[in-house]
Structure 1
């Protein structure tokens, strides 16, 4: 091939290379531009709280029982009635107690009559002793008669002392009989509501060993919540902390109060106080709870006994605080300091923040961010491959 022809083919090849490179540059797809998914720092109310489940109980509840045996003659109240302290609730047939009172009174009267007879006899023996003393001084009587008169006088004085003791005992028996007769009239020991009628009218009660319960009164104007606080949380709570709860029937209605007390012993001890071995025999894999107690007013008796309460014991709270999602916290730097990724001029920037109160969703930001700052949640890094993705990192830097 001649030199002119060779140069021609070389020039043609170079032209094809240039045209091919230009076409590839013009037609090749553009590198994807990173697009970041962000979330903005905003204002929110944040609350750190201990959650617990509890039950509603009456602030005060009394089992009204019978202290004497007998048949229930009449019941004066029905289930659900409101009663006042001292109001008559029930009557026990009083005939046995009335007879006991009459017997005790008769014994007392008899003993007093015996005392009056002894007092008259004592006066007689005193006069006889004085007469024997006079005669003995005049050598007109025998010494034996004087000693007999003295013995009769002393003996009668001792018998009077015995009768005084018997009278005191008889008076106690009369008082006891009067008290037992009063027990046949069963009255309310407090203001409250009849929440249970255990014994029916006409039923016989026997109080030989224990006082049988006739009905149960409860003060429903104030309710007590017993919240079960786990052993993991009990060290965080203390008396005086703000607390609120909701019920299953009204999940949007909050009832606020202050924590009154946290019982020192676990619930197993409180619930099984009669069993001395309950606290020592609990299994190591059994959850341990402690009762936290607080009281709430109950106007209209809307809250009822044994309702389930979803309780929140507030540990800390921040109103209208600058906040971000807890999930956006990066590397922990200690002392409530964290690293976060903030979208700057088109790309993420590392920034250190200081946090405050947090809940399960949001955390308060005390410093390091401003309202509206955007935190990087993610980007289109999945479009990058190989060394480029590893170089850019999860947030593109």
Structure 2
């Protein structure tokens, strides 16, 4: 008699796969115009500059590039990343940073270092979907904090801290995924003050901050935390995926020394270190090229694409629909009229070779079935106009 197969870990069975990834699989056909993915525009990658950086690294120091490296990350890349954060208003030393295999790994490491099964995590509603998966795999209990069109409500955060006794608050305060909202400076300061008063960890995720089309940059929560006395409980996650290329899988974690040491140990257990050749090439690229000039070109194209999407939505969505106008990032958040279900409508929409992401999976609590996320960066304005015509037919 054959013995029963041992079961999988309970935490794996309790966390669903990403609906966004499932939708991307369904819409992988070249004829589909997809507003579903959060993918940077590949034609805007600086392929020549990145290729030249890899060639120089492999020509000049091939043995180092192809060898194991330290867990903390390449010193040159950490120095360049620290200088960039400092120039943007957050004084940072290279020793404050850990290079990670994408910012998603940084979030996973923080969850591993801070969370025990049953710990409470506060999140925005709606929330970045992969963060919900990450906290679920850590065995945490996720509690949504209400907000409004301006993002998290600091008073609601403090009330949730008193009621739920959470370990941490996770937020994407700038051009949030999925809503595109940006939290204002006053609210960021207030959240830092809540963290100082209540002993709350704040994990701030910033993959989109350098994709601003208009308006003035807002300081990080981490910057306000210094003045509020919460610098010892504030972590900042960032990424090169949206500003260089996601295929490099390069992210970074800025955190207080005790948390950074714990995440370093967790990373050793996960993958030893981020690929050496990718780190050296990124450092070389930053030394040899003007990333800000490249980003100016990217932002100009993305703004034009955002404007094309916004201009076409009145004709594409049913009368009574609502949407926002993000000042940057990659996403527009929309809501169909009451009574509509964006998940059910997608089945018909996909038959017209166009797609979006329903908003429901982004809610850790009771979802709003009318909501949907539209990404505007992957297609040209002409393609966006065509896609919106298809969307109108699908929703009609």
Q: Normalised by the size of structure 2, how large is the TM-score?
A: 0.19
Select the structure of larger CA radius of gyration: 1
Structure of greater relative contact order (alpha carbons < 8 Å, 6+ residues apart): 1
Judging by fraction of residues, say which structure has more helix: 2
TM-score, normalized by length of structure 1? 0.19
Q: Say which structure is richer in strand.
A: 1
